[in-house]
Amino acid sequence: VCPEQVATQASVRLTSVAIPAEEMGRRAVELAVAKLAGRPLAEQVTLLPPELTVRASSGPAPGTS
């Protein structure tokens, strides 16, 4: 799990899982504003899908190629 920029600038381009940080921040602010405004908040869990990007640091398992 690392930022896209780090994964692409390493000596070997790293396979990575990007976390949707911008969307997480946006939703957190929306919830904070709603709470400060006194609106009732439903207790819920929101799952945001991560994004896997396969690069040069990944390959087939040994013995399967």
Measured between alpha carbons, how far is 23 from 44 in angstroms, rounded to an integer? Answer: 16
**Which pLDDT score is estimated for 65?**
61
pLDDT 10s digits, 14-27 = 999 988 889 999 99
pLDDT at 8 over 70: yes
pLDDT 10s digits, 31-62 = 999 999 999 888 888 899 989 999 998 888 77
**Domains of the chain, residue spans:** 4-53
Residues 6+ apart with CB under 8 A from 29: none
Measured between alpha carbons, how far is 36 from 39 in angstroms, rounded to an integer? Answer: 8
Q: Is the pTM of this model over 0.75?
A: no
